[in-house]
């Protein structure tokens, strides 16, 4: 009798234990925590959340060049913040110290599984072409140059149009009828800035002298300062630079002159982003204006397209005056008088409506000047 009762208790306990185990197993499976395939469930969760990541590779100017690369990085940061990301968790950058770093940095970001990778600057074109061909499942975007490829979006700007307006501002500001242009590396891209600027100056006054010199570097502030010093010593009073980090030296020289003689009028026209801050010296500012190129907006827009599954692979995206993608900064209200702004707006309308075809090469510039 006792044995029978013990047997019944054991059977009951065994049955109840199996029932509890079954309930626990069912609950784990319902919550997606089955120990049988933990990694598979985590991967499915990541896909369901639509995880997206984006990064950029700078050229040798660096992410804090106060110009082109910095504008791109600001756009990437804005995109990340809008979408709840943080640096290293959704977006990031890789800085290049030399040309040899371009392909290395691109490959590293591919291995880190970034969905979209930007190459900032035309100097990265060969590396983008090589790496994008090796990784067809990763999307790439090249800024300031065109590269064919189904997984590559090319982002270019009509810099010559914005530079034309910079030339109009310079021509209306100069008191010596001598202005200067300092370029980074002499090539087709920076020639667009040069041609547009000279055309703008000459359209206002063909007799104004324009001196052009290239530093052959986007990251040599000492060279930029030396060229600027030489120009200012020749009575040039307005210098437009399109030279990335080299332009920091142009600002340094203008501020040195202003510091020594507050009554002397020397001006710098910045590039790519509003460089008003770079020209501040006490209560004065040597930044007349800046030719703003909205690399930041382009980066934000293309990143959003990619995240939404609409990446414009194989397309060339061109931005100009009509898109408000290039413009002239008006931050220095004291220097940019109403007269100058009025002149800039007048020429802007002529460009947008097709009355003026702005030259983008030296050959086109020559024909443009011949027709004046």
Angle at which helices 159-173 and 188-204 pack, to 10 degrees?
40
Residue 313 lies in a domain: no
Same domain, 59 and 177: no
Residue 271 lies in a domain: yes
Q: What integer pLDDT is reported at residue 66 of this predicted model? A: 83
Q: What integer pLDDT is reported at residue 270 of this predicted model? A: 97
122, 157, 192 - which closes a domain: 157
Residue 29 lies in a domain: no
Query: DSSP assignment, residue 133?
Result: H
H helix or E strand, kind and range, residue 90: strand 90-94
**In sequence order, what are the residues at sequence separation of 6 or more whose Cβ sits closer than 8 angstroms to the Cβ of residue 358?**
158, 160, 161, 164, 195, 196, 199, 200, 351
Residue 284's domain comprises 159-292+337-370
104, 130, 157 - which closes a domain: 157
The CA-to-CA distance between both ends of the chain, in Å, stands at: 122
| Cα distance between residue 114 and residue 307, in whole Å | 11
Q: Which of 251, 260, 185 is nearest to 216 (CA)?
A: 185
Residue 325 lies in a domain: no
157, 187, 218 - which closes a domain: 157
Q: What integer pLDDT is reported at residue 50 of this predicted model? A: 56
Q: Which of 246, 211, 261, 248 is nearest to 231 (CA)?
A: 211
Residue with tokens 């990265």: 124
Residue 316 lies in a domain: no
Residue with tokens 């801050």: 277
Same domain, 265 and 203: yes
Q: Do the bridges between strand 90-94 and strand 284-285 make them parallel or antiparallel, or are there none, so unpaired?
A: unpaired
Same domain, 210 and 111: no
**3-class secondary-structure state, position 165:** helix
Angle at 33 between CA 32 and CA 37, to 5 degrees: 95
Same domain, 348 and 278: yes
CA 207 to chain centre: 35
Same domain, 166 and 210: yes
Same domain, 67 and 134: yes
Contact 364, 164 (CB under 8 A): no
Same domain, 271 and 193: yes
Q: What integer pLDDT is reported at residue 67 of this predicted model? A: 84
Angle at which helices 188-204 and 338-352 pack, to 10 degrees?
120
| Cα distance between residue 372 and residue 365, in whole Å | 11
CATH number (domain holding residue 220):
3.40.50.2300
Same domain, 273 and 349: yes
Contact 295, 325 (CB under 8 A): no
Q: Do the bridges between strand 326-328 and strand 287-293 make them parallel or antiparallel, or are there none, so unpaired?
A: antiparallel
Q: Tell me the chain's radius of gyration from C-alpha atoms.
A: 29
Tell me how many domains the chain contains: 2
Contact 74, 63 (CB under 8 A): no
| Cα distance between residue 193 and residue 48, in whole Å | 46
Residue 28 lies in a domain: no
Residue 18 lies in a domain: no
Q: Which stretches of the chain score pLDDT less than 50? A: 1-49
Same domain, 362 and 246: yes
Same domain, 111 and 245: no
Residue 124 lies in a domain: yes
Same domain, 222 and 358: yes
Same domain, 150 and 201: no
Contact 75, 298 (CB under 8 A): yes
């Amino acid at each position: 009798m006792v044995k029978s009762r013990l047997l019944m208790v054991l059977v009951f306990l065994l049955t109840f234990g199996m029932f509890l185990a079954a309930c626990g197993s069912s609950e784990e499976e319902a919550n997606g925590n089955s120990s049988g395939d933990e990694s598979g469930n985590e991967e499915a969760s990541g896909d369901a959340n639509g995880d997206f990541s984006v990064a950029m590779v700078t050229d040798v100017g660096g992410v804090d060049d106060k110009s082109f690369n910095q504008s791109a990085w600001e756009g990437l940061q804005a995109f990340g913040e809008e979408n709840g990301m943080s640096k290293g968790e959704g977006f990031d950058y890789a800085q290049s110290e030399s040309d040899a770093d371009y392909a290395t940095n691109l490959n590293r970001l591919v291995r880190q599984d970034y969905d979209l990778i930007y190459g900032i600057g035309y100097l990265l074109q060969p590396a983008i072409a090589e790496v994008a061909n090796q990784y067809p499942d990763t999307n790439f975007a090249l800024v300031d140059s065109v590269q064919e490829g189904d997984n590559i979006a090319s982002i270019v700007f009509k810099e010559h149009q914005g530079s034309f307006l910079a030339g109009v501002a310079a021509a209306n500001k100069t008191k010596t009828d001598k202005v200067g242009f300092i370029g980074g590396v002499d090539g087709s891209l920076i020639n667009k800035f040069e041609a547009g600027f000279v055309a703008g100056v000459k359209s206002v006054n063909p007799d104004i002298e324009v001196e052009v010199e290239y530093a052959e570097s986007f990251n040599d502030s000492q060279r930029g300062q030396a060229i600027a010093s030489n120009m200012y010593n020749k009575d040039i009073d307005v210098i437009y630079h399109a030279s990335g980090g080299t332009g920091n030296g142009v600002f340094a020289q203008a501020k040195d002159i202003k510091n020594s003689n507050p009554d002397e009028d020397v001006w710098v026209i910045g590039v790519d982003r509003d460089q008003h801050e770079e020209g501040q010296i006490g209560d004065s500012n040597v930044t007349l204006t800046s030719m703003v190129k909205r690399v930041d907006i382009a980066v934000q827009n293309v990143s959003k397209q990619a995240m939404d599954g609409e990446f414009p692979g194989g397309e060339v995206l061109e931005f100009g005056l009509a898109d408000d993608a290039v413009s002239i900064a008006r931050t220095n209200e004291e220097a940019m008088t109403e007269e100058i702004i009025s002149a800039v707006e007048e020429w802007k309308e002529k460009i947008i409506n097709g009355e003026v075809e702005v030259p983008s090469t030296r050959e086109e510039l020559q024909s443009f000047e011949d027709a004046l």
